[in-house]
Amino acid sequence: MSDEPYEFAVDAFRREGLLEPAETGTGPAHDGTGRVDLSFSPSGRTVRVPQGVTLFDAASWNGIAIDSTCGGHGTCKKCKIQVVDGTVPVSRLDVRAFSADQLKDGWRLACLAHATQDLGVDVPPLTTRPKAATVGVGRQVILRPAVQKRYVELDEPTLADQRPDLQRLYDAIDDLELRADLHALRRLPTVLRQADYKITAVIVDEDLIDVEPGDTSEQRYAIAFDLGTTTVVATLLDLATGTPVAVQSMLNKQQPFGGDVITRISATMMDPDALGRLRLLAQETLAELAVGVCAEGEVDAALVYEVALAGNATMTALVLGIDPEPLGVAPFVMSTAAPTDVRAADLGLSLHPGARASLFPALGAYVGGDIVSGMLATGMDRDKRVRLFIDVGTNCEIVLSDGDRILSTAAPAGPAFEGGAIRCGMRAADGAIEVIKLGEDVVLQVIGEVEPQGLCGSGLVDGVAELVRVGLLDHSGRFVSDEIAKEVAPALADRLTYVGEERVFVLHRPRGVTEAAESVYLSQRDVRELQFAKAAISTGWTLLLDELEVDPRDVQQVLLAGSFGSYLSPASAIRIGLVPKLPVLRIVSAGNVAGEGAKMALLSLRERAGAAALLEEVRYVELSDRADFNDKFVDQLAFPG
């Protein structure tokens, strides 16, 4: 369709400064840094997302369903939302989808609306009963869950028809080879007779797990878990519509055993009781979240018939009570790549008594089910572009696809990104500096709008990138001398000082504080920690690019994933060399892809089979035994020029 009938409106909106300057769908006109708060109604949820993310992505990452049949690609015009607080420029497609009055009232297509400021957004109820759901990074999945409900009306037995109850049911559902759980068998005679032989069979895969009186076929739920080392996220899904009902997250209760997988594995090696305690703590975390999402969604836990769990290999072993020691020592071997026949009760969950658990398979000891889940969510195996997937964390997982072949590896980045080993480091919580800009002076963005207390990983990356940009850090990562500092940035030079013998840059000095040691600062050692972390990661992707003989400039998309990676400023990630030097719009925040993959596995058996197929398709590259690793690592330490 031509744009012409709308050109007058396009011009009018452009004159009012309301039309997005870029072409429809080509991205926002901002520098990709900073965070914005989005308040969604009627759910009442407020979420904090990287600036520039579309409202469609922000909603879907946070379990808020918006109508769509195109998966957020700007073609279906179904993703209508109303911006009720703040403004979003009008895109060219908005002009076709809405009247002038609607546009003035803030109506926009969510997949083309980039959040560049805090916004209030009203999401209308879904208008169509979906046959497909949008999950992952713009993925559409046809709804075909493992959980099925079949309503049947059976003939009553007679002296001439004395078939057993179960046979009577099997005969009515003859397209499946059913096997009945004992729980279902126990209930069958009573439920059949009380309900006049009108019952609903509850089936997971081909297991008959229950029978319910009457027609309950619309009531079926599942929970997707992203079992992270630090944070655990649960999403309650309505399997009849494919939509999320409630999302909750909390810190993994295993935290007291250490912040990373190695300390938790070590704990099990030193204390024979630790494995049992770690298993219980992981299970308590899942159970608390399950209770929370069911309460929030007002769903009876007994209607949850399946869970999917995506976790790294250590977390998966621990929650199942499997000894993780072989994962922590060379040659780094898993007990199994794909745990099978697990029930939700084995994970400590009180849901339907027959509820099944589907655990994501792992590629290796350090490329676990969470990454396989992320690959599924981002469609790494079905895109012809050259794409790089980086899950940034203490252990950084990297996947490279050239459209035909897929390689993966793991790079030990250390705790710098989580704020560990950094003098003023902290987790991304209230008081953490998350964005830093250097201009005339220092501009900080702080989580929770409270006084800065420390620096989280994204703030660290920003701070170092900005110091390199203005010339206060040289490319080897050393703070410049006072003389040079005064020449390159006189207003900022005063902040360069010492704590003890160490050179530091003061980011925030609380009122009344005179000592640099009591302020929030970035030290020379912090810069070195970050250099080591980013060199480990960039060595990882450099070696994968070498393996596939791909030039870094030919990478068409870099997906930054995970609870930390998704919040990194793409511009800063490029500046410090954490990702290849590419146009900033090729670097994309992918959100919680592990959780998204888990949702896909619950909504579609086909996608679940796709995850299993990845085990065959992806080649794991071990970095630690490569002769060229050390040389490449040293090459990657410096910041790019």
Q: Give the footprint of ligand FES on this chain (CB under 6 A).
A: 56, 68, 70, 72, 74-79, 109, 111
User: Residue 242 or residue 297: which is nearer to ligand FES going by CB?
Assistant: 242
Q: How far apart are CA 64 and CA 629, in angstroms?
A: 43
Nearest to 540 by CA among 625, 621, 420, 637: 621
Q: Least distance to ligand FES from the beta carbon of 125, Å?
A: 16
User: Residue 76 or residue 470: which is nearer to ligand FES going by CB?
Assistant: 76
Answer for the pair 353, 346: CB distance below 8 angstroms, yes or no: no
Q: Least distance to ligand FES from the beta carbon of 73, Å?
A: 6
User: Residue 72 or residue 369: which is nearer to ligand FES going by CB?
Assistant: 72
Q: Least distance to ligand FES from the beta carbon of 221, Å?
A: 25
Indicate the helix (H) or strand (E) that contains 378: helix 369-378
Report how far Cα 181 is from the mean position of its chain's Cα atoms: 35
Owner of token pair 């001398």: 481
Q: Least distance to ligand FES from the beta carbon of 76, Å?
A: 3
In sequence order, the 6+-apart residues with CB closer than 8 A to the CB of 606 are 141, 142, 144
Task: Locate the DSSP E strands across 420-511.
Answer: 432-438, 442-446, 454-455, 496-499, 502-508
* Three-state DSSP state, 219: coil
User: Residue 77 or residue 352: which is nearer to ligand FES going by CB?
Assistant: 77
User: Residue 24 or residue 266: which is nearer to ligand FES going by CB?
Assistant: 24
Q: Least distance to ligand FES from the beta carbon of 24, Å?
A: 10
Q: Least distance to ligand FES from the beta carbon of 28, Å?
A: 15
SS (H, E, C) 144-211: ECCEEEEEEECCCCECCECCCHHHHHHHHCCCCCCEECHHHHHHHHHHHHHCCCEEEEEEECCEEEEE
Q: Least distance to ligand FES from the beta carbon of 610, Å?
A: 22
Q: How far apart are CA 433 and CA 454, in angstroms?
A: 6
- Structure tokens belonging to residue 598: 């888990």
- Strands 304-311, 221-227: pairing is parallel
15 CB-contact burial (10 Å; exposed 0-12 / middle 13-18 / buried 19+): exposed
SS (H, E, C) 67-123: CCCCCCCCCCCCCEEEEEECCCCECHHHHHHCCHHHHHCCEEEHHHCECCCCEEEEC
Q: Least distance to ligand FES from the beta carbon of 134, Å?
A: 7
Q: Least distance to ligand FES from the beta carbon of 372, Å?
A: 26
User: Residue 99 or residue 194: which is nearer to ligand FES going by CB?
Assistant: 99
Q: Least distance to ligand FES from the beta carbon of 238, Å?
A: 19
In sequence order, the 6+-apart residues with CB closer than 8 A to the CB of 512 are none
- Structure tokens belonging to residue 230: 């630090």
Q: How far apart are CA 636 and CA 630, in angstroms?
A: 10
Q: Least distance to ligand FES from the beta carbon of 10, Å?
A: 18
269 CB-contact burial (10 Å; exposed 0-12 / middle 13-18 / buried 19+): middle
Answer for the pair 33, 571: CB distance below 8 angstroms, yes or no: yes
User: Residue 77 or residue 608: which is nearer to ligand FES going by CB?
Assistant: 77
Q: Least distance to ligand FES from the beta carbon of 8, Å?
A: 23
Q: Least distance to ligand FES from the beta carbon of 93, Å?
A: 7
Q: How far apart are CA 155 and CA 73, in angstroms?
A: 49
Indicate the helix (H) or strand (E) that contains 389: strand 387-391
Q: Least distance to ligand FES from the beta carbon of 108, Å?
A: 10
Residue 447 amino acid letter: I
Q: Least distance to ligand FES from the beta carbon of 374, Å?
A: 22
Q: Report the first-to-last Cα separation within the chain, whole angstroms.
A: 46
User: Residue 68 or residue 524: which is nearer to ligand FES going by CB?
Assistant: 68
Indicate the helix (H) or strand (E) that contains 19: none
Answer for the pair 166, 180: CB distance below 8 angstroms, yes or no: yes
User: Residue 82 or residue 266: which is nearer to ligand FES going by CB?
Assistant: 82
User: Residue 78 or residue 187: which is nearer to ligand FES going by CB?
Assistant: 78
User: Residue 68 or residue 539: which is nearer to ligand FES going by CB?
Assistant: 68
User: Residue 6 or residue 151: which is nearer to ligand FES going by CB?
Assistant: 6
What does R_g of the chain's alpha carbons equal in angstroms? 27
User: Residue 65 or residue 468: which is nearer to ligand FES going by CB?
Assistant: 65
- Structure tokens belonging to residue 182: 């004992």
User: Residue 75 or residue 167: which is nearer to ligand FES going by CB?
Assistant: 75
User: Residue 73 or residue 253: which is nearer to ligand FES going by CB?
Assistant: 73
